[in-house]
Structure 1
Amino acid sequence: MTTATLLLLLLCYIVNVSCVVALPPKVFNVMAYGAVNDGTKDNVKVKKKKKKKNIHMAFSAAWKDACEYEGRGRVVIPRGVYALGSVIFTGYCRGTMSFIIHGSLRAPTDRQSFSLDTWIGFRYVEYLTIKGGGYLDGQGHVAWHYNDCSTNFKCSKLPASLRLDFVRNSWIHHIRSINSKNTHLNIFACHNITISNVRINAPADSPNTDGIHIGSSANIRILNSTIRTGDDCVSMVSGSRGIEVANVRCGPGHGISIGSLGRSHAEEPVTDITVRNTTFVATDNGVRIKTWAPSDATSASNITFQDINMIAVANPILIDQVYCPSGNCLEAQSNVEIRDVVFKNIRGTSSSEVAVKLQCSRARPCRNVKLVDINLAYRGLRGKSRAVCVNALGSSSGTQIPSGCL
């Protein structure tokens, strides 16, 4: 043992802190665990007279060994196509983790797999990086016609392509997700996650294929990404706080939404949300807050939508407190309180005549809503863009096209 090491150990003992000697990164290649990358079936190469295993077992074994490594464990998926069944990667890990996807992961198409809520999941992991430039192919085209959640409240949701639960201090970047059966990326009960340079793609008519869905999570950043899908590009529901969306291109899709809120009992508030420097192209909505009516009480507050470009967007600015996609809701008012909302420097074109619609609750009017420098022209052959405000309290300043209604 060197003199320097002895001095380090002595210092650790004196100040009563834990000292860990950093280990070099170590690669855990799934091919070394028998994974097959020809895309034909979910199995692995095994020695003769041994029982056949699944690819997800090879992935799980690689993850387990990497998770037990005290340095940076790197699970590597080389180029190729992997027919991967549902798999959940769990912590807690002894070191930091990287999940590096160079190849294309292909979801199962058998009907039995549709009952699961997750295709690829990570749970109870800290300091995780998911990267590599590879693909997650959800193969949603085989399942979308089974989706009836828009009309059936008790529907069984199809699996999300990628789900993070109780993950902290982690990064997802340079990953591509296509044709998810349901949500592409679902984030629940997570803290301090940065998502950047991801590309998400599904047809405009694919049901419930939200790009990124966030709930009960804090300090989530979505940056420099492109999302084209059949539902919300980004959605934030109960318990979302400290969320930043910046430099994102959205469309087709349903826009960026806070909500829907108030559908379930005892939902947590949504607060401290910033959406900035984003572009919407031919989306059904632009920036939207939506709450159910009737609803239980909760709140959405301290929300800023700023520096946004709209290109042929229906409903560019929308607060909808009578949200009821099935049309079978009771005649009642929303009890979700919306306050301290800023729409600033939002410009471009609206494909609907009503470019600004603030439809707030009579029971709990929206408070302190600000429209600042709005310039949204109607693309139609006749008429001009209009603004409609119902039960909304606030102010307008700067450029107001259409004329402000606050």
Structure 2
Amino acid sequence: MNRNSIIAKVFEMNPIVALVTFSALASAILALPTNSSVDATCTVTSYDDVASAVSSCTTLTISGITVPAGETLNLNLKSGTSLTLSGTIKFGYSEWKGPLVTIKGSKVTVTGASGFKFDGDGAKYWDGQGDKGKVKPKFVRVQTTGGSVLKGINLLNCPHQCVSINSADSTTLQNWNLDVSAGDKDDLGHNTDGFDISSSTNINIQTATVKNQDDCVAINQGSNIYISGLTCSGGHGLSLSVGQNSGSDNTVNNVTFIDSSVSNSRNGIHVKTHTDGGTGYIKNVVYKNIQMSGITRYIINVQEDYAGGSSTGNPKANIPITGLDISGITATTSGSDCIPVYILCASGGCSSWTWGSISYSGSAKANSCTNYTPSGFSCK
């Protein structure tokens, strides 16, 4: 029996029941959301709609919103979500620690559309005192996992640290642009780190640009970190800063910086360990094919003597550095105060380093190597 025969049979048996049934069905169909209403729910143009969209949509767009002062744009995404950011996302002014944005989720893709940016309005915070003075919010915290990809993200005028990659795993950041160059005016921007990495594994940063007044990248704790195609300007270079936490988990292992450039910066490469924190180690770190220009203080600087945020001249081996391989370095210096290579190791604190193909030009002071000279390098 076909569909028309069934309908005819129902009307023949009880026409009233049939009419009521079909009327109810039609009403139910009309009550269902259309494709356009679903799309509208998942396209967010007001901060008030973010939480519901993030919790219900796996394909969504957030465009041109303003986040209220003192609040975080929480992008706690469902697994597998594809998020597009468009327009300019702004933040109300408030003196607090932040972060202004958090991005979480497993197997997520976050894409900045052409012209997109997070605008941190940093000039309202910058006072030349960085970590001190006004309380300044950190900007973006990344805590994604599972092969997530975050690409095409632009950050303008970070009030404080730009990107904190914390407790993340298996995450790739592609084509990020962090522009804090306005903080150069009157030397007001300070502690505007580009990428800070801690407690994270399997992190890949590709083809990013950082213009700031502090470390371009600072790795505090993590493993299996690969950074390539980085362009850094105005800051403190490609850094490891390890040992600030109490305990024994101050560890950095299997890190590569490759095919990158550093210009107009205090340091090119900076590896520092902290004597007033806990214990741990730095192992298997590679810097390869790094071009530098306009370096004012150190081309390569390795120190095991930091405490209270600065060099003390008293190195300690609580964070031994093993397997630091550096090659393919070309640099020019700016000014006469630059020390091309400065190594200050504790007794027994450094071992199994291999360096090669390191060249520089410009006026500079003599190299300095204390308690260790790498294989393949002459400190003279």
The TM-score, its normalising length taken from structure 1, stands at 0.75
The Cα shift of 1:237 comes to 0.7
Q: Is the 8 A contact 1:368 1:393 kept in 2?
A: no
Aligned letter for 2:100?
W
Distance 2:164 2:300 in 1: 25
Distance 1:31 1:126 in 2: 19
Distance 2:315 2:376 in 1: 29
Q: State the partner residue of 2:54.
A: 63
Q: What is the aligned counterpart of 1:210 among 175, 185, 193?
A: 193
Q: Is the 8 A contact 1:187 1:215 kept in 2?
A: yes
1:77 aligns with 2:55: no
Q: Is the 8 A contact 2:325 2:354 kept in 1?
A: yes
Alignment of 1:187-266 (within 5 A): 187-202=165-180, 203-204=183-184, 205=187, 206-238=189-221, 240-266=222-248
Q: Is the 8 A contact 2:143 2:166 kept in 1?
A: yes
Aligned letter for 2:51?
S
Cα root mean square deviation, aligned: 2.8
1:348 aligns with 2:331: yes
Q: Is the 8 A contact 1:369 1:392 kept in 2?
A: no
1:158 aligns with 2:136: yes
Identical counterparts, % of pairs: 19
Distance 1:353 1:252 in 2: 16
The Cα shift of 1:229 comes to 0.8
Q: What is the aligned counterpart of 1:120 among 90, 101, 117?
A: 101
1:129 aligns with 2:107: no
Q: What is the aligned counterpart of 1:360 among 340, 345, 353?
A: 345
Distance 2:155 2:38 in 1: 24
Structure number having the greater helix percentage? 2
Q: Deviations over 1:242-269 (max 9, x none)?
A: 1111111101111111114344333341
Q: Is the 8 A contact 2:243 2:279 kept in 1?
A: no
The Cα shift of 1:167 comes to 3.2
SS in 1 for 2:272: strand
SS in 2 for 1:58: helix
Structure 1: gaps of 5 or more residues: 1-23, 36-54, 67-72, 398-403
Structure 2: gaps of 5 or more residues: 1-34
- CA 1:172 to 1:29, structure 2 compared with 1: closer, same or farther past 3 Å? farther
Aligned letter for 2:291?
N
The Cα shift of 1:293 comes to 2.5
Q: What is the aligned counterpart of 1:298 among 271, 275, 280?
A: 280
Q: Deviations over 1:158-202 (max 9, x none)?
A: 322211225331111111101112221111111111111111011
Q: Is the 8 A contact 1:223 1:245 kept in 2?
A: yes
Q: State the partner residue of 2:369.
A: 389
Q: State the partner residue of 2:91.
A: 107
Distance 2:103 2:118 in 1: 15
The Cα shift of 1:104 comes to 0.5
1:316 aligns with 2:299: yes
- CA 1:376 to 1:186, structure 2 compared with 1: closer, same or farther past 3 Å? same
* Number of corresponding residues: 334
Q: Which is greater in Rg?
A: 2
